[in-house]
């Protein structure tokens, strides 16, 4: 005997949580299994897809670092998942849905992190990694079949950046966890790289949140749990939110948008622009799956998909082959 997955949710989850039996389903209906809920199956599909594996060689902040200890887009994704699951479990929300959204939220991220994203936006126009992540799971994965994820997971992936409302509290958890993760691990990596020192960190948020990554994450999680216990929304207390935002502003000033990173961005934009134009003129270099007419409305869309899917190292090798 085993407990049906849907029955298990009834015993564990809060009424406000997203229950799998109430899911709005998939774009293409499927027969579900009593062993794994639809959200568990979505999580497993994401873990096994090619785009997820490529995250290990995509930039978080430092481009193609030689040091093994810097975060990549994959380790960022795992840290977001860990924080989000901790919050979801404590609030009796759906951990499986939360995990699936967190694991899929950056599948569409470009090589070279947000530098690459801004470059593709300039070159192609209207490129946003959250929308590309949804395109990956809907259209590009499984050789053009897509992963056929549930509506709830798709919504969480599309809206993880926090600029639009979400269908579920679980998606809102991932929104917060994403910011909590990158603020803390980017400080840690910047310290390791010697770009900043602990003495340079603004002291007001350090006093509120703590002087180490683990203390800051713990303080932020506890703040979210305290502010969200009524489950009418997922939020952080104002005091900790302001402290986190101050650290984020510090990162933009000292790490993300420095003269050196802007020089680097200019170079990468030029290289990606040349590559984009070259591939437009030589489309036979694109994978056949990207050239299926049902997948794009112009050749530029296929080229954009190809470049967005590259790892840092693949893109750098291509630049070298093209002599740029």
Predicted confidence at residue 292, as pLDDT, reads: 81
Predicted confidence at residue 3, as pLDDT, reads: 67
- Closest residue by Cα to residue 225 from 185, 176, 153, 186: 176
CA dist 208 and 218 (Å) reads 12
**What's the distance, CA 243 to chain centroid?**
23
Provide the Cα torsion 247, 249, 250, 255; round to 10°.
120
Q: What is the DSSP letter of 72?
A: B
Question: Which residues, given as ranges, of the chain have pLDDT below 70?
Answer: 1-3, 66
Predicted confidence at residue 248, as pLDDT, reads: 98
Tokens at residue 231, please?
């489950």
**What's the distance, CA 200 to chain centroid?**
28
Predicted confidence at residue 2, as pLDDT, reads: 62
Q: Judge whether 184 and 240 are in contact, CB under 8 Å.
A: no
Predicted confidence at residue 1, as pLDDT, reads: 53
Three-class DSSP category at 27: coil
pTM of the predicted model as reported, rounded to 2 decimal places? 0.96
Q: Give rounded-to-5 percent helix, strand, coil for the chain.
A: 65, 0, 30
CA dist 198 and 113 (Å) reads 25
Question: What confidence tens digit (pLDDT) does each residue in 272-292 have?
Answer: 999 999 999 999 999 988 888
Predicted confidence at residue 7, as pLDDT, reads: 85
Q: Judge whether 51 and 140 are in contact, CB under 8 Å.
A: yes
Q: Where do the domains of the chain lie, and which CATH numbers do they carry?
A: 5-322 (1.10.3210.10)
Predicted confidence at residue 164, as pLDDT, reads: 86
Predicted confidence at residue 151, as pLDDT, reads: 98
Length of the chain equals 324
Q: Judge whether 95 and 87 are in contact, CB under 8 Å.
A: no
Predicted confidence at residue 180, as pLDDT, reads: 98
Q: Which residues pair with 59 in a beta bridge?
A: 72
CA dist 307 and 296 (Å) reads 14
Question: What confidence tens digit (pLDDT) does each residue in 166-181 have?
Answer: 999 999 999 999 999 9
Q: Judge whether 244 and 205 are in contact, CB under 8 Å.
A: yes
Predicted confidence at residue 128, as pLDDT, reads: 96
CA dist 163 and 286 (Å) reads 33
Tokens at residue 64, please?
């193609």
């Amino acid at each position: 005997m085993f407990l049906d997955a849907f029955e298990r949710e009834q015993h564990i989850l809060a009424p406000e949580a997203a229950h799998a039996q109430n899911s709005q389903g998939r774009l293409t209906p499927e027969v579900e299994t009593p062993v794994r809920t639809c959200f568990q199956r979505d999580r497993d599909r994401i873990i096994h897809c090619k785009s997820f594996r490529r995250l290990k060689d995509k930039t978080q902040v430092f481009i193609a670092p030689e040091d093994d200890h810097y975060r990549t887009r994959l380790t960022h994704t795992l840290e977001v998942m860990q924080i989000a699951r901790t919050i979801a479990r404590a609030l009796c929300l759906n951990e499986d849905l939360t995990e699936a959204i967190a694991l899929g939220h950056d599948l569409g991220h470009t090589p070279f992190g947000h530098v690459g994203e801004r470059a593709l936006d300039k070159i192609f126009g209207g490129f946003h990694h959250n929308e590309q992540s949804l395109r990956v799971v809907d259209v590009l994965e499984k050789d053009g079949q897509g992963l056929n994820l549930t509506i709830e997971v798709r919504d969480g992936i599309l809206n993880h950046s926090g600029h639009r409302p979400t269908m579920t509290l679980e998606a809102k958890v991932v929104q917060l966890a994403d910011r909590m993760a990158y603020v803390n691990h980017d400080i840690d990596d910047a310290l390791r790289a010697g770009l900043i020192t602990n003495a340079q960190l603004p002291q007001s948020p350090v006093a509120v949140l703590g002087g180490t990554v683990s203390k800051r994450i713990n303080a932020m999680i506890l703040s979210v749990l305290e502010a969200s216990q009524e489950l009418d929304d997922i939020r952080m207390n104002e005091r900790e939110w302001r402290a986190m935002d101050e650290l984020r502003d510090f990162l933009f000033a000292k790490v993300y948008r420095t003269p050196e990173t802007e020089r680097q961005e200019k170079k990468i934009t030029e290289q990606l622009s040349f590559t984009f134009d070259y591939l437009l003129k030589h489309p036979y270099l694109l994978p056949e799956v990207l050239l299926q007419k049902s997948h794009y409305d112009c050749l530029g869309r296929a080229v954009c998909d190809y470049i967005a899917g590259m790892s840092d190292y693949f893109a750098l090798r291509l630049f070298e082959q093209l002599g740029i």
